């Protein structure tokens, strides 16, 4: 496989053809608003969108450090799916029924994102073909069966289990021994979605300032080098970049996720792969892969990396490069999954940040005593979760300002949850790298084993991280 001409880092492939949008003006001095949103990704922009639609007279300002979509929202794998970080723990904390309500809200969110794009006439290459998760060895197959039954217990009666032959009829993945398919998934073009979303928000009358980094968030204030925005509500929507904000160094771990994109594949090669349904893909590995077939016939494939960033590296543009060893690992994974891609060129690779809470639970909250709100910690499930968070923040603000009462969304179990902070260094680094190494080793050992047992290393790591 040819990686000589691979572009590494910089702006993601998603912007390569259209370029990044024309920059909006930075903040020009002190000002005030009813609501100040910090961060111009899906969370911040959708919050501004739904809030402005609900209460048109609200004066809303969005402050974005770079450009809207600079973060994970413009550089993700484009897999809109109904995964949710922390559902198992929420079921333990609040009961099964509460977690079922949460899952149903996430399922409905996939449809809401598709509807939103259609209503706003945003052509984001959306293909609502569902999500297929595959097993490639006996241990993965055992987990796949459990996963399938658990999802059905969480109300997904439309989920379909498939054997090896039926899976191959959908997508020919080497070694696939079974799969589970959910209709609650869609393929999309992340940058087209976030760019269209920013335009829709602006068209509603929301003010967006780009190239405006917020250096401090405190009650009723968002402080930038160009001035301070004073607002009764200040919402932190900075996900993987949160660690760079004063006082948040240990809130969510800024972990790297890395992606490769192939050249457009010829139709003869697509004939060897099938994948006519354009389902987004995942697997049951401990370090799971995500993949999509793009509208222009490429494969986008990614995986969360073992590394995380700290200090000035959070948000630095140079840090969007993918380390060569990770590129090699992703390329090998691509060829192991799809052997006929062995001679295919990798056009682009990049990395981005996801926010990972210590207890792996995504959260959304509004502190009524300070007017500070936040949402994030979505890990790899942020495309749908960000939309759910945004509509929840809208409802929380309306409730707090006396315009509405509690809603179905404000009573979901993730609202107001607080995760404990990450350990200080060097404990954190030691823990994260040990756990990651354990998962990688477990994946390798399971791939070579005939046993359907989950590898002991992974069971140990699950206990340590609270995944079990
Ligand atoms: C490589 C990669 C692949 C992924 N693939 C998938 C996938 O296929 N499916 C899925 O569901 N999820 C995926 N995710 C996760 C998903 O993209 C994110 O969870 C989601 O986009 C988060 O949106 P957000 O708006 O909360 O954060 P972001 O999109 O990261 O937006 C935060 C914004 O805040 C800005 N900002 C940060 N600090 C400041 C500051 N101090 N002042 C002002 N602005 C600031 C940033 O510039 C950024 O634009 C992936 C993530 C990555 C990195």
Distance CA 203, CA 120 (A): 11
Distance CA 234, CA 228 (A): 12
* Average pLDDT, integer, range 229-240: 97
Place of tokens 């590129």: 327
Tokens for 11?
A: 């702006």
pLDDT at 225 over 80: yes
Distance CA 311, CA 249 (A): 8
pLDDT for 464: 82
Q: Which atom of ligand 1 is nearest to the CA of 39?
A: 34
* Average pLDDT, integer, range 249-270: 95
* Average pLDDT, integer, range 219-228: 98
Residues 6+ apart with CB under 8 A from 463: none
Taking the centre of ligand 1 as the mean of its atom positions, its distance from the CA of residue 218, in whole angstroms, is: 22
Q: Tell me, using a 6 A CB cutoff, whether residue 386 lines ligand 1.
A: yes
Taking the centre of ligand 1 as the mean of its atom positions, its distance from the CA of residue 353, in whole angstroms, is: 7
Q: Tell me, using a 6 A CB cutoff, whether residue 12 lines ligand 1.
A: no
Q: Which of 71, 258, 330 gets mutated to test ligand 1 (max ligand atoms within 8 A of its CB)? A: 71
pLDDT for 315: 62
Tokens for 316?
A: 């630095």
Nearest CA to ligand 1 atom 4: 76
Task: Phi first, then psi: give them for residue 276, nearest 5 degrees.
Answer: -70, -25
Q: Tell me, using a 6 A CB cutoff, whether residue 253 lines ligand 1.
A: no
pLDDT for 4: 61
Q: Tell me, using a 6 A CB cutoff, whether residue 355 lines ligand 1.
A: no
Size of the chain, expressed as the number of residues it contains: 468
pLDDT at 71 over 90: yes
Nearest CA to ligand 1 atom 39: 65
pLDDT at 292 over 70: yes
Distance CA 49, CA 403 (A): 17
Residues 6+ apart with CB under 8 A from 95: none
Nearest CA to ligand 1 atom 53: 352
Q: Tell me, using a 6 A CB cutoff, whether residue 75 lines ligand 1.
A: yes
pLDDT for 10: 82
* Average pLDDT, integer, range 429-457: 92
pLDDT bracket for residue 18 (50, 70, 90):
confident
Question: 383-405, pLDDT tens digit by residue?
Answer: 999 999 999 999 999 999 999 99
pLDDT for 2: 57
pLDDT at 350 over 80: yes
Place of tokens 């910090």: 38
The CA-atom distances, in angstroms, between 191 and each of 181, 196, 227, 383 are 26, 8, 29, 12
pLDDT for 19: 85
Q: Tell me, using a 6 A CB cutoff, whether residue 283 lines ligand 1.
A: no
* Average pLDDT, integer, range 32-46: 98
Global pTM exceeds 0.85: yes
Q: Tell me, using a 6 A CB cutoff, whether residue 42 lines ligand 1.
A: yes
pLDDT at 430 over 70: yes
Q: Which of 2-16, 177-191, 419-433, 450-464 has the highest mean pLDDT?
A: 177-191
Q: Which of 238, 289, 349 gets mutated to test ligand 1 (max ligand atoms within 8 A of its CB)? A: 238
Cα R_g (the chain), whole angstroms: 21
pLDDT for 364: 98
| Distance from chain centroid for Cα 373 | 19
Question: 183-212, pLDDT tens digit by residue?
Answer: 999 999 999 999 999 999 999 999 999 999
pLDDT for 33: 98
pLDDT bracket for residue 255 (50, 70, 90):
very high
* β-strand partners of 415: 364
Q: Which of 13, 72, 390 gets mutated to test ligand 1 (max ligand atoms within 8 A of its CB)? A: 72
pLDDT for 94: 97
Taking the centre of ligand 1 as the mean of its atom positions, its distance from the CA of residue 78, in whole angstroms, is: 12
pLDDT, mean over the chain: 94
- DSSP-derived secondary structure letter, 74: G
pLDDT for 16: 85
pLDDT for 307: 73
Taking the centre of ligand 1 as the mean of its atom positions, its distance from the CA of residue 148, in whole angstroms, is: 28
Question: 302-340, pLDDT tens digit by residue?
Answer: 998 767 777 666 765 556 889 999 999 999 999 999 999
How is the chain split into domains, by residue range?
424-468
Q: Tell me, using a 6 A CB cutoff, whether residue 376 lines ligand 1.
A: yes
Nearest CA to ligand 1 atom 31: 41
pLDDT for 196: 97
Question: 169-183, pLDDT tens digit by residue?
Answer: 999 999 999 999 999
pLDDT at 125 over 60: yes
Q: Tell me, using a 6 A CB cutoff, whether residue 188 lines ligand 1.
A: no
Which H or E element spans position 10? none
Nearest CA to ligand 1 atom 35: 39
| Angle formed at CA 26 by CA 24 and CA 30, multiple of 5 degrees | 140
If one counts every other C-beta atom within 10 angstroms of the C-beta of residue 317, the result is: 11
Taking the centre of ligand 1 as the mean of its atom positions, its distance from the CA of residue 258, in whole angstroms, is: 13
Q: Which atom of ligand 1 is nearest to the CA of 215?
A: 41
Q: Which atom of ligand 1 is nearest to the CA of 258?
A: 1
| Distance from chain centroid for Cα 166 | 29
Q: Which atom of ligand 1 is nearest to the CA of 389?
A: 26
Distance CA 390, CA 53 (A): 12
Q: Given the DSSP bridges, would you call strands 79-81 and 280-283 parallel, antiparallel or unpaired? A: unpaired
């Amino acid at each position: 496989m040819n990686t000589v001409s691979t572009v590494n880092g910089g702006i993601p492939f998603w912007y390569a053809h259209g370029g990044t949008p024309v920059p909006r003006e930075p903040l020009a001095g002190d000002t005030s608003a009813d609501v100040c949103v910090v961060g111009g990704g899906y969370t911040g922009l959708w919050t501004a969108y739904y809030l402005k639609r609900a209460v048109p007279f609200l004066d809303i300002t969005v402050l974005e450090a770079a450009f809207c979509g600079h973060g994970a929202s413009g550089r993700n794998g484009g897999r809109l799916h109904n995964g949710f970080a922390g559902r198992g723990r929420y079921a333990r904390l609040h009961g099964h029924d509460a977690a079922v309500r949460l899952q149903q809200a996430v399922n409905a969110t996939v449809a809401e994102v598709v509807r939103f794009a259609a209503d706003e006439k945003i052509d984001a290459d959306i293909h609502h073909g569902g999500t297929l998760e595959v097993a490639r060895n006996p241990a993965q197959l055992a987990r796949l069966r459990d996963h399938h039954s658990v999802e059905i217990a969480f109300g997904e009666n439309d989920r379909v289990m498939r054997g090896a032959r039926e899976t191959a009829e959908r997508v020919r993945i080497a070694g696939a021994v079974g799969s589970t398919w959910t209709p609650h998934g869609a393929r999309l073009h992340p940058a087209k979605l976030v760019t269209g979303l920013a335009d829709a928000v602006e068209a509603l009358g929301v003010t967006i300032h780009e190239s405006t980094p917020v250096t401090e968030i405190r009650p009723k204030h968002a402080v930038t080098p160009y001035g301070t925005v004073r607002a009764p509500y200040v919402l932190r929507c900075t996900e993987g970049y949160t660690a760079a904000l004063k006082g948040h160094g240990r809130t969510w771990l800024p972990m790297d996720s890395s992606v490769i994109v192939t050249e457009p594949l010829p139709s003869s090669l697509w004939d060897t792969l099938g994948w006519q349904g354009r389902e987004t893909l995942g697997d049951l590995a401990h370090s799971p892969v995500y993949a999509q077939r793009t509208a222009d016939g490429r494969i986008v494939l990614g995986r969360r990396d073992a590394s995380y960033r700290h200090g000035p590296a959070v948000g630095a543009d140079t840090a969007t490069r993918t380390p060569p060893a990770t590129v090699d690992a992703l390329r090998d994974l691509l060829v192991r999954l799809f052997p006929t891609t062995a001679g295919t060129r990798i056009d682009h690779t990049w990395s981005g940040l996801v926010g990972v809470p210590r207890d792996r639970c995504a959260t959304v909250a509004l502190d009524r005593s300070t007017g500070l709100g936040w949402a994030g910690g979505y890990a790899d499930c942020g495309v749908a979760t960000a939309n759910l968070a945004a509509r929840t923040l809208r409802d929380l603000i309306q409730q707090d300002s006396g315009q509405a009462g509690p809603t179905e969304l404000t009573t979901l179990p993730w609202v107001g949850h607080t995760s404990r902070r990450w350990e200080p260094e060097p404990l954190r680094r030691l823990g994260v790298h040990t756990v990651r190494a354990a998962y990688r080793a477990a994946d390798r050992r399971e791939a070579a084993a005939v046993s359907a047992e989950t590898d002991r290393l992974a069971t140990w790591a699950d206990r340590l991280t609270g995944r079990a």
